[in-house]
Amino acid sequence: MSVTVLVGSQWGDEGKGKIVDILSEKFDIVVRYQGGANAGHTVEIGEKQYILHLIPSGILRSGVKCVIGNGVVIDPQALLDEIKILEDNGINVEGRLFISHNAHLIMPYHKLLDSISESGKNKIGTTGRGIGPCYIDKFDRKGIRIVDLLNRDVLEKKLRQNVEEKNTLLKKLYGDKGFDIEEIIKEYISFDEAIDSYVTDVPLMLNDAIKEGKNILLEGAQGTLLDVDHGTYPFVTSSNPTSGGASTGSGIPPNKIDNVFGIVKAYTTRVGNGPFPTELTDEDGEKLRKEGAEFGATTGRPRRCGWFDAFLVRYSAMINGIDAVAVTKLDVLSVFEKIKVCVGYKLNEKLLKSFPSDVDKLSSVTPVYETVDGWMEDISECKSYNELPQKTKEYLEFISDQANIKIEIVSVGPKRRQTFSMNG
């Protein structure tokens, strides 16, 4: 039996979906514990590509059960769309998907408030999926949860209170006409009918599964530097993608978690605003974007690209307690003669001892780089560590030492077969 948490170690899009799909062969249950349809997890199987936003990437393995935990914020329409795409592709969800009573619902006004807030001065560059406003309501104790869908009277009462309050705000502050309460009530009652069969007591289900010796994988969305507590605040998402969030977001107690596994991209990307010390705005950045097809899986936005930041990943390994990692997209670096790795930050000519906690400081640091030789050959067909060119092995060893991470899996392409373990 083991319970493993899988986290993104940088700013998201590290390739979590692909690695969860690979690992889920050995797990009975895969659980999402935070975030919502802001996530875009890509899995390529044969000629097909799936982009999962809310449903755990384990859904593509037929024997695996998938759980959406209480820490997730659910856009019911996005969920139903995703279920439909899977079923249209012959992937059965019935009896395999379980949703927590305590997960919060994204409402149409959350998406509008997200876009209004992004039209102001302090743009985060959100995905526009209503994530922040939904978590605001959750922590303001006004949120509407899945459990509320199950009781029509409670649902109507809560919806009326919320919509009236949001309409007042929208009209007074933003001159918006607001929402039609009756229409929202009708819409959410129909969601209840569609979602009802998936709803279950998730903490009980997961704790029973642990007692029965089942293997559980907790799939983080986003990444450590997007964590609302440990990330580059305020340029973060509104949840805790770090390993600590896995416990509160699922109902699995911390002392039942055995391992933390990190996903590390062989370079760095970020979507949205905020500091990014190793960002490349020159032709090397363009080359990374092109070779890595670095465009958002949810919004299609071009991702900002830069060199591997070992100082940042070292911080991430500490915050999450990462035991081992998968290094992804190593093949993308094959086109570079020389590769830079950031091994520390300097501020006012002094080397920093720890990762800066405020964005002003982080925006002012100068990365300290070490340059290593590239390998300049295609590695995407390599099937084992031993087949990798010597220079590639040296790169892996170098980032492992500098970031203090133990590499267990290497990924050299988007497909399942383009993956191998370090000891295999």
Q: Which residues bind ligand IMO (CB under 6 A)?
A: 8, 12-13, 38-41, 124-127, 129, 131-132, 221-223, 226, 237-238, 271-272, 297
Residue 32, burial from CB neighbour count under 10 angstroms (0-12, 13-18, 19+): buried
DSSP strand pairing (65-68 vs 29-32) = parallel
Six-digit token pair at 337? 């003669």
Which residue's CB atom is positioned nearest to ligand GDP?
A: 42
Residues 242 and 319 sit within 8 Å (Cβ to Cβ): yes
- For residues 232 and 402, which CB has a smaller minimum distance to ligand IMO in the complex? 232
Active site residue 21: no
325 binds, among ligand IMO, Mg ion, ligand GDP, none (CB under 5 to 8 A by kind): none
Residues 326 and 264 sit within 8 Å (Cβ to Cβ): yes
Residue 159 CB, shortest distance to ligand GDP, in Å, is: 32
- Regarding 100 and contact with ligand GDP (CB under 6 A), the answer is no
Count of CA atoms in the C-beta half-sphere (13 A) of 149: 29
- For residues 43 and 155, which CB has a smaller minimum distance to Mg ion in the complex? 43
44 binds, among ligand IMO, Mg ion, ligand GDP, none (CB under 5 to 8 A by kind): ligand GDP
Residue 236 CB, shortest distance to ligand IMO, in Å, is: 6
Residues 6 or more apart from 254 whose CB is under 8 A from it? 244, 247
**How many C-beta atoms surround the C-beta of residue 354 within 10 A?**
10
Q: What is the CA radius of gyration of the chain?
A: 22
Residue 18 CB, shortest distance to ligand GDP, in Å, is: 4
- For residues 9 and 400, which CB has a smaller minimum distance to ligand IMO in the complex? 9
Name residues contacting ligand GDP, limited to 302-341 (CB under 6 A).
328-329, 331-332
Please give the span between the terminal C-alpha atoms of the chain, in angstroms, as a whole number: 22
- Regarding 411 and contact with ligand GDP (CB under 6 A), the answer is yes
Buried b (16+ CB within 10 A) or exposed e, 379-414: beebeebeebbeebeebbebbbebbebebbbbbbbb
392 binds, among Mg ion, ligand IMO, ligand GDP, none (CB under 5 to 8 A by kind): none
Alpha helices of 196-307 — where are they, by DSSP H? Answer: 202-211, 243-248, 283-291
Residue 11 CB, shortest distance to ligand IMO, in Å, is: 6
Residues interacting with Mg ion, by CB under 5 A?
13, 40, 297
Q: Which of 21, 41, 137, 148 is catalytic?
A: 41
Q: Which residue has the tokens 């997209």?
A: 329
Residue 301 CB, shortest distance to ligand GDP, in Å, is: 11
Six-digit token pair at 43? 């899995």
- Regarding 108 and contact with ligand GDP (CB under 6 A), the answer is no
Query: Which of 7, 9, 10, 17: binder of ligand GDP (CB under 6 A)?
Result: 17
DSSP strand pairing (199-200 vs 97-100) = parallel
For residues 88 and 412, what is the distance between their CA atoms, to the nearest angstrom? 29
Residue 363 CB, shortest distance to ligand GDP, in Å, is: 25
Active site residue 180: no
- For residues 36 and 344, which CB has a smaller minimum distance to ligand IMO in the complex? 36
Query: Which of 5, 14, 285, 339: binder of ligand GDP (CB under 6 A)?
Result: 14
Contacts 24+ apart (CB under 8 A), 135-140: 135/73, 135/104, 135/238, 135/239, 136/238, 137/104, 137/110, 137/162, 138/73, 138/104
124 binds, among ligand GDP, ligand IMO, Mg ion, none (CB under 5 to 8 A by kind): ligand IMO
Binding part of the chain for ligand GDP, among 14-22, 97-105, 119-127, 338-346 by CB under 6 A, reads: 14-22
Residue 4 CB, shortest distance to ligand IMO, in Å, is: 17
- For residues 18 and 314, which CB has a smaller minimum distance to ligand IMO in the complex? 18
DSSP string covering 140-182, please? TT---BHHHHT-HHHHHHHHHHHHHHHHHHHHHHH------HH
Q: Which residue has the tokens 């559980």?
A: 216
- Regarding 21 and contact with ligand GDP (CB under 6 A), the answer is no
9 binds, among ligand IMO, ligand GDP, Mg ion, none (CB under 5 to 8 A by kind): none
Six-digit token pair at 106? 């994204």
State the catalytic residues: 13, 41
Positions that interact with ligand GDP (CB under 6 A): 8, 12-18, 40-42, 44, 293, 297, 328-329, 331-332, 411-414
